[in-house]
Structure 1
Amino acid sequence: MAIKVYIAEDNEKQRHILEQTITNYQLFSNWELELTYSSGAGDKLLEKIDRRNQWNIYFLDINLDEDAGLSNGFALAQEIRKFDPLGFIVFITVRSELSFLTFQYRVQALDFIIKDPAMDIRERVQTCLKTIEQRLDLLTTNQTVKLNTGNEITSFIVDDILYFSTNKEHVLSLHTKNNQYLIYQTTLNNLEEQLSDSFLRCHRGFLINKKSITSIAKDFSSITSEDGVTIPVSVRKKRQLKSLQSKLLFCS
């Protein structure tokens, strides 16, 4: 499985250090790691990303080339998240006070590396790559699900999915902890069969991740999901929910 690495860094010296560090790491990696594209311009990097690839790593400077489009690394990360919810994003900057913005932009960054003249960022970059490999080792095929999001097939980590719901015109909605996606060319019946160990079909219009259930109504008529949404439970599913209650993660 190829892991493609992308760099957006407008400082030529820093970009060269990143490229060299990743190239050196490749020599000792058990994974098929590929430095695919490196640039100082966010818009150029966005054009070069292979959106069909399952696993990508992005090293993004926060302040990019101002003469090019997408000079803000956070905005670039938001664009990436629109088609790559599983990509590993690492921000690099000289301004440590900007780290809190990773939460404001809701891009789920893996790390935030400070370009400190007194520190060598090579070690931090290598640590990030090692962390990513360890996470990928844990992601077996049954921990991810590939779904059609319209323009491409996208992989989702099962544990990140809160629930699926029906939508108009035979389209489903997938709700994750941070985003919502339209899903095509499948049905709740198909997903229920595929994800039966982790999900509960509580209603004809909903398939919910058991781990995302935070509470159950006393009369078992509804479930509350992690995002605070109340999901109905059909009469014929109440008995199944009762039997599952003691096995769910939350304390009822």
Structure 2
Amino acid sequence: MSGLLKTFVVEDDPEQLATLKQIINNHIMINDFDMCLTLATGEAQALLDEVNAHPDSEGLYFLDIDYPGQALNGLELASKIREQDVNAKIVFVSTHAEMAFLTFERRIEPLDFIVKDLGQAAVKEKVEKDIRIAYERYTKQGVSSKAMFSYSKGGQLFNLPLSQVLFIETGMSRNKLVLHLVDRIVQYNGKISDETVAHPELFRVHKSFLVNPNMLVRVDKQAQLGYFENGETIDIAIRKMHDLLALIKQAQLPVKLN
């Protein structure tokens, strides 16, 4: 998992805002979840500003449908959140049950739609359940994304433990990549720039090489080479050497340096 799951609330009724804050904070504390209530506000724009300022954050968002007198309504806010936070867990808490279908029409994909008219006890139960579901998905999502490597070949998707990946290099043909695994080599279609984005655990040491730092056993600074346990090597660009060494030191990786 990449850290705290941030939780946000936008509710323009002060009494209902205070109630939601209390429910959320209490449930997080009682369950000792690795979460925090980052922002609870009555202003839709305040949340959008927060999301835009931290575009790489993942969050759980409790929103209303209607914010009278404000430039953004809940559906517009949710759509803008989804643009920035593709993994957003969005929960609508509203009296406007008839608007639920619009969340599907706009491809918002909410986690839940809670109708306030159900009563305070029922709303509390649903909010707590959504917190548990969101947290479970967040933790599973973090583990799987960091522990696994995925690639596509022949129209089929392959998933394997990241610990099997040594490095990726550009192939001889255009848009071909060569994946070096602990026990085999696989060629597939792709761009190394795309893989750099898709797999942030890997490090771009050269325009042609993307390495799994955890699998390096030795780095020769003078020869500008990285070594793996199976004897394979990769070139390390001069401008990338400093950053790689800093990463190795920061992560305290057992890599021999000479």
Percent identity (aligned): 28
Q: What is the CA–CA distance in structure 2 between the aligned matches of 1:39 and 1:47, rounded to whole Å?
A: 12
Say if 1:202 and 1:73 are closer, same or farther in 2 by CA, change over 3 A: same
CA distance in 2, matches of 1:128, 1:19: 14
In the TM superposition, residue 46 of structure 1 has moved relative to its aligned partner by 1.0
1:63 aligns with one of 41, 56, 66: 66
Matches within 5 A, 1:60-209: 60-64=63-67, 66-70=68-72, 72-116=73-117, 118-120=119-121, 121-143=123-145, 193=179, 201-202=188-189
Seen in structure 2, the aligned counterparts of structure 1 residues 193 and 203 have a Cα distance that, compared at 3 Å, is closer
Q: By percentage of residues, which structure has more helix?
A: 2
Letter in 1 for 2:24: I
Is the Cα–Cα contact under 8 Å of residues 41 and 69 in structure 1 kept in the other structure? no
* 2:3 maps to 1:38: no
From 5, 22, 40, the equivalent of 2:7 is 5
Among 16, 32, 41, the residue aligned to 1:14: 16
Q: 1:77 to 1:115 in 2, by over 3 A?
A: same
TM-score normalized by the length of structure 1? 0.56
Q: Which amino acid aligns with 1:95?
A: H
2:64 counterpart letter in structure 1: D
Q: What is the letter of the counterpart of residue 78 of structure 1? A: S
Higher-Rg structure is 2
Distance in 2 of aligned mates of 1:131 and 1:204 = 35
Coordinate RMSD, CA, aligned? 3.7
What SS is found at the alignment partner of 1:139? helix
> Who is 2:162 aligned against?
none
Q: Alpha carbons of 1:104 and 1:28: their partners in 2 closer, same or farther (altered >3 Å)?
A: same
Contact 2:63 2:92 in 1 (8 A): yes
**TM superposition score normalised by structure 2:** 0.55
1:82 aligned counterpart, secondary structure = helix
Distance 1:162 1:28 in 2: 42
Any runs of at least 4 consecutive aligned residues in structure 1 with deviations exceeding 6 A, and if so which?
Answer: 187-190
> Does the Cα contact within 8 Å between 1:51 and 1:84 map onto a contact in 2?
no
1:194 deviation in Å? 9.8
